[in-house]
Amino acid sequence: MAEETIFSKIIRKEIPSDILYQDELVTAFRDISPRAPTHVVIIPNKVIPTVNDIEEDDEVTLGRLFTVARKLAKQEGIAEDGYRLIMNCNSHGGQEVYHIHMHLLGGKPLGPLLMG
pLDDT digits (tens, 9 = 90+) for 76-108: 999 999 999 999 999 999 999 999 999 999 999
Q: What does the mean pLDDT of the chain come to?
A: 94
Provide the edge-to-edge strand list for the sheet that holds 83-86. Answer: 19-22, 26-30, 38-44, 102-106, 83-86
The Cβ of residue 75 has, within 10 Å, a number of other Cβ atoms equal to 13
Flag whether the pTM goes above 0.85: yes
Catalytic center residues: 101
Question: Cα-Cα-Cα-Cα dihedral of 75, 77, 79, 83, to 10°?
Answer: -110
**Which residue segments constitute the domains of the chain, with CATH numbers given?**
6-106 (3.30.428.10)
